[in-house]
Amino acid sequence: MKYPFSLLLGSFLLVSVTACNDDFLVQTDPNAVAANTYYQNENDVLLGVNGVYQALRNNNGIAEGSGLFSEERSDNTGRNDNQSNAGEPFQFNDFSLLPSNTYLKSHWLALYQTITRANQVLAGMDNVTFAKAETKTQYQAEAKFIRALIYFHLVRKWGDVPLVTKPLTSADDVSASTFREKKEKVYEQIVADLTDVVNSPLPDHQPVAGKGRVSKVAGLSLLGQVYLTMATTLDQANRTTNLNQAKNYLTQAYSKRTFGQLKEIPYADVFDVNKKSTNAEIIFQIVYKQGDVNYSSGIAASNQAQGETINSLRTTTGSGGNVKADLVKDYEDGDLRKDFSIKYANASNVKDYFITKYRDASAAAGATGYGGNDWILIRYADVILMLAEVNLYLNDEATAISYLDQVRDRAKMPLYAVARTTAAYTAKYPTLKLAILHERRVELAFENHRWFDLLRSFTPDELVAYMRTKSQADYGTAKVSNFGRKDYYYPIPFDEYKLNPAKMYQNEGY
């Protein structure tokens, strides 16, 4: 039987398998450790938790190289090459995604492998005696945060998904878990996990030595976003309750910031590799090690176009990714975020914009491009703009505008009251909702938020109408006209669907 989820905890934790019931033939692999006997002391648990963090570095999951599964699904980026790798990456932005797409399958597996690691360590630590109960609670909170974060990705991308919260140690366990749980139940689990995080003894902010580990503010921020997403995408009977919960947790996160106004932190500083551990805006990040062949960041070099040196000292022959003209035109005149985030490459075979938001052209990164960028998953500008959004939905426009203005003020853009008096601005953003959506787009471009912002801002039918207003000339080779109701969710990977076609039913349109 083919298992839909990886049952392995990682290279340091392998499940031993016996080949026969006869005692004299039962042997233990000396190079493997059984999962149910691995956890003996606190250090074993720490290593297990570290293994969960390590899973976040997988580019098939949500790490720095995962833009294919979110940013390229949106109207921000994509690719014009529909031939490489059998054209499978092109399918994401062309809205021609097939259930058999191997990149889609790899993404699904990477997400569930991270959940598997979290489940293993949560179960394993129950067998360990801790010197301080607080230590155990903190480790549980870290694993639960990551499990919740990954399920949040899964439920937004696929809707109903298998919900697994304990180790699967047999074929029967796997079979029993091979069904799609309703998305409402998945959200209940996400909320339960994150509630434990925000009530845990985790520090509000991690010290420099702990950067990359979960903090209480990370839990508050994510829980606020979850409630905001529930309010805008689930049963509207609970909309107001969920919005108030979102406001509560996002406000708590905001109140714990260690700075005053956002403008105190220059935009470029947020992405400065020399300030990544001390920048007060960053709430949660995946840490990369500059100059290290195994743990360095490749995002600066991989996004650099031929003939350019702004991102990295590594020479490249590529195009640096495809920034859609639709996004380029959405930057307002004079927006400093445009000049920092994108640049036009004028090489003979590259006449297009490429991403410059992530840079490490230092000698330490060198000609190999082993950069030191961290991948930022949560930062305060995101929280502030979500507070603008939630206050708008709660009919408090004045407060919503005050949060929106914090982000515009740092970008040296006219405040909303001034901007809305100009014909060009009001023509593109006739409502405060669209103004906030625009601000999120240009502030958080290439940070893998745009697709989720679209899902949160529009119903499926509204999103179809919105996407079809896009000019094909500003969209590239991929056909924006392909977008339909089916594209609100990804298809269930074919190998998962065929395990149990009734319980792993396919999404609409596939």
The first and second tokens of residue 34, run together, are 């059984």
Do the domain assignments include residue 54? yes
Residues 361, 474, single domain; the answer is no
Amino acid sitting at position 318: G
Do the domain assignments include residue 382? no
Distance CA 304, CA 343 (A): 10
Residues 15, 113, single domain; the answer is yes
183-198 vs 216-233: helix crossing angle, rounded to 10 = 150
The set of long-range contacts for 21-27, using a CB threshold of 8 Å and a minimum separation of 24, is none
Do the domain assignments include residue 138? yes
Residues 349, 467, single domain; the answer is no
- Specify which residues 354 forms β-bridges with: 343
397-410 vs 380-393: helix crossing angle, rounded to 10 = 160
Do the domain assignments include residue 398? no
Task: Look at the pTM and tell me if it is higher than 0.85.
Answer: yes
Ramachandran bin of 85, using left for φ above 0, alpha for ψ from -120 to 50, beta for the remaining angles: left
Q: Which residue has tokens 């515009």?
A: 408
DSSP string, 43-109: HHHHHHHHHHHHHTT-TTTTSTT-GGGTGGGTTSEE-S-SSGGGGHHHHHHHT---TT-HHHHHHHH
Do the domain assignments include residue 209? no
Indicate the residue among 338, 373, 408 that finishes a domain: 373
Residues 47, 161, single domain; the answer is yes
Residues 22, 166, single domain; the answer is yes
Please name which of 320, 322, 305 lies closest in space to residue 74, comparing C-alpha atoms.
322
Amino acid sitting at position 68: L
Do the domain assignments include residue 160? yes
Residues 183, 323, single domain; the answer is no
Cα separations in angstroms, 314 against 3, 368, 375: 41, 5, 20
Residues 17, 164, single domain; the answer is yes
Amino acid sitting at position 342: I
* Number of structural domains found in the chain: 2
* Domain enclosing residue 315, as ranges: 299-373
Length of the chain: 510
Q: Exposed, middle or buried by CB within 10 Å (0-12, 13-18, 19+), for 216? A: buried
CB neighbourhood size of 466 (10 A):
16
Reported as half-sphere exposure (CB side, CA atoms, 13 A), residue 150 has a value of 31
Distance CA 433, CA 458 (A): 11
According to the model, what pLDDT value does residue 18 have?
Answer: 34
C-beta of residue 47 within 8 angstroms of C-beta of residue 12: yes
Which residues in the chain show pLDDT less than 70? 1-35
CATH classification at residue 106: 1.25.40.390
C-beta of residue 247 within 8 angstroms of C-beta of residue 394: yes
According to the model, what pLDDT value does residue 348 have?
Answer: 84
According to the model, what pLDDT value does residue 1 have?
Answer: 38
Residues 323, 185, single domain; the answer is no
Do the domain assignments include residue 234? no
> What is the torsion angle, in degrees rounded to the nearest 10, for the CA atoms of residue 138, residue 140, residue 143 and residue 149?
-90
Do the domain assignments include residue 493? yes
Indicate the residue among 373, 404, 434 that finishes a domain: 373
Indicate the residue among 321, 353, 373 that finishes a domain: 373
